[in-house]
């Protein structure tokens, strides 16, 4: 027997990502963030390994991360564009949750499934935040994928990676236009032939 949930289907059909750089600064309080994260943690987690950890980033944390990104870009001989891209989301950020993929040794749960669980957690954060009335955007950027930056910024140990940084805030009241969506006939195949 099916049990449709039209409200959830409507939410999924209307979901948009607003660029985090457009967020105006209104952010959820600690209790709201904790509620959003609690809901997001209802994620596929094979073997109950919890192969991820989360770091809530405040405006003060964002300023520190922007400086770390700039320093790392300079270490790498980066030009002004690389520095600007590295600083960008952190300079503009007000509040975000960094999802760190932290795979655990598990014979029956491949590392890729643990990484996908972290990605699912990022998506759940987006849905929980927007369902709670906030705007959200999943970003990463080159610094998040740089192991030196990730270690300095988030304490990533070897084997840990940043799955995503989910910004949560308030976008302007104007409706974000929908982007073109994939052509179902191109990406969906029925059967193996």
Q: Is 179 annotated as a binding residue?
A: no
Cα(35)–Cα(54) distance, rounded to whole angstroms?
14
**Contact yes or no for 163/100 (Cβ under 8 A):** yes
- Whose CA is closest to 150, among 102, 82, 110, 118? 102
Residue 47 neighbours by CB distance under 10 Å:
14
CA dihedral 54, 159, 115, 122 (to 10 degrees): 30
Q: Is 46 annotated as a binding residue?
A: yes
Q: Is 101 annotated as a binding residue?
A: no
10 Å CB burial of residue 103 (0-12, 13-18, 19+) is: buried
Residue with tokens 């940084």: 165
**Contact yes or no for 106/69 (Cβ under 8 A):** no
What separation in angstroms does the CA of 161 have from each of 58, 107, 155?
Answer: 20, 20, 10
**Contact yes or no for 56/38 (Cβ under 8 A):** no
Q: Is 140 annotated as a binding residue?
A: yes
Q: Is 16 annotated as a binding residue?
A: yes
Q: Is 17 annotated as a binding residue?
A: yes
Q: Tell me the binding residues for FMN.
A: 15-17, 42, 46, 138-140
Q: Tell me the binding residues.
A: 15-17, 42, 46, 138-140
């Amino acid at each position: 027997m099916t049990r449709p949930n039209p409200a959830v289907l409507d939410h999924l059909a209307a979901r948009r990502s607003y660029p985090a750089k457009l967020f105006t600064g209104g952010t959820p309080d600690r209790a709201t963030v904790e509620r959003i994260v609690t809901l997001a943690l209802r994620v596929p987690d094979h073997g109950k390994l919890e192969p991820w950890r989360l770091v809530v980033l405040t405006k003060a944390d964002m300023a520190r991360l922007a400086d770390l990104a700039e320093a790392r870009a300079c270490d790498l001989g980066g030009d002004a564009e690389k520095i600007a891209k590295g600083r960008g989301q952190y300079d503009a950020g007000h509040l975000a949750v960094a999802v760190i993929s932290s795979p655990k040794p598990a014979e029956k749960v491949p590392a890729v499934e643990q990484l996908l669980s972290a990605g699912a957690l990022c998506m759940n954060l987006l849905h929980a935040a927007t369902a709670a009335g906030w705007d959200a955007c999943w970003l990463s950027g080159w610094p998040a994928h740089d192991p030196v930056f990730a270690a300095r910024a988030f304490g990533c140990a070897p084997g840990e990676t940043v799955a995503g940084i989910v910004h949560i805030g308030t976008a302007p009241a104007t409706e974000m236009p929908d982007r073109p969506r994939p052509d179902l006939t191109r990406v969906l195949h029925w059967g193996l032939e």
